[in-house]
Amino acid sequence: MTVLVLGGTAEARALAAALVHAGRDVLTSLAGRVQNPALPPGRVRVGGFGGVNGLAAFLRSDRVTAVVDASHPFADRIGANAVVAAEQTGVPLLRLERPGWANHLRAGGWTWVADVEAARAAADGYTRPFLTTGRQSLATFLPWADRAVLARVVDPPEFALPGRWTLISARGPYAYAEERRLMTEAGTEVLLTKDSGGTPTAAKLDAASDLGIPVVVIARPPRPAGVATVSSVAEALTWPALA
Ligand code: NAP
């Protein structure tokens, strides 16, 4: 039995660890976007499969018996590919997705938008934004070259950022006190984030709300319907194809 975990998240690493502990053959797949990724226990492969057909061929050639898509909530292309490849090959597919922040106590006070462009439009009236929407979104904000943008990403982008911007390369988790100090010192006027969910990066939401800083949240992209979905590693381990 070989379980393919589509990874790139803390949940994917935790699931791989639990399956390895249970004696399963686990292969975690990473896209290869991050320079020094945190590696899970078990086998690891890096790089794209080559679309749906490449993934389906991989499932067959590597005799994968179950797939868990534990990729990030915003990694919607690999998620969609997994659905089609699983259908084509008959390999069972489970989606493991951490809960979003829609039920956060402060969520009602935030501005929810559909995508990165809408986030820029929603925060356009501010001169000192704090961008935590990810490296892949930074190009959308380049028209803000004249603003004192604070941008936090895991790895720096491959292109130069405007001279007025401050870039922080860091990986969570982040504590409330640090987030509050960072936004206070930067004079942050608005926080922009994706609805990544989970706890490691959630302290910024409380810190911003306590400081009276508006929060703009990009909602998660839609997912194909009809896929068995769980929100925790413990639940995933009860899925029949893994139990
Ligand atoms: P994406 O838009 O859904 O995927 C783009 C392409 O990258 C896919 O078509 C696939 O290439 C390849 N790919 C993505 N995830 C892969 C994986 N786990 N293993 C092998 N190939 C993968 O993905 P993304 O948003 O660029 O994210 C890339 C990875 O970073 C994901 O694994 C995700 O879990 C992680 N991540 C993403 C975010 C985010 O905000 N998007 C945040 C944290 C971590 P082929 O078509 O060639 O197979």
pLDDT digits (tens, 9 = 90+) for 167-186: 999 999 999 999 999 999 99
Ligand 1 in reach of 51 Cβ (< 6 A): yes
Q: Cβ(91)–Cβ(66) under 8 Å?
A: yes
Q: CB count, 10 Å around CB of 186?
A: 16
Distance 187 CA to ligand 1 centre (A): 33
Ligand 1 in reach of 48 Cβ (< 6 A): yes
Task: Please compute the mean of the pLDDT values over residues 151-162 and round it to a whole number.
Answer: 96
Distance 75 CA to ligand 1 centre (A): 5
CA-proximal residue: ligand 1, atom 25 (nearest): 75
**Which of 71, 84, 153 to mutate for ligand 1's pocket (most ligand atoms within 8 Å of CB)?**
71
Residue 56 class from Cβ within 10 Å (0-12 exposed, 13-18 middle, 19+ buried)? buried
Question: Which atom of ligand 1 is nearest to 49's Cα?
Answer: 48
Q: Tell me the torsion sign for CA atoms 16, 19, 23, 24.
A: negative
Residue 232: C-alpha distances to residues 79, 97, 98 (Å): 17, 7, 6
Q: Cβ(78)–Cβ(52) under 8 Å?
A: no
Residue 109 class from Cβ within 10 Å (0-12 exposed, 13-18 middle, 19+ buried)? exposed
CA-proximal residue: ligand 1, atom 30 (nearest): 8
pLDDT in tens, 93-150: 999 999 999 999 999 999 999 999 999 999 999 999 999 999 999 999 999 999 999 9
Q: What is the pTM of this model?
A: 0.95
Distance 109 CA to ligand 1 centre (A): 31
Ligand 1 in reach of 58 Cβ (< 6 A): no
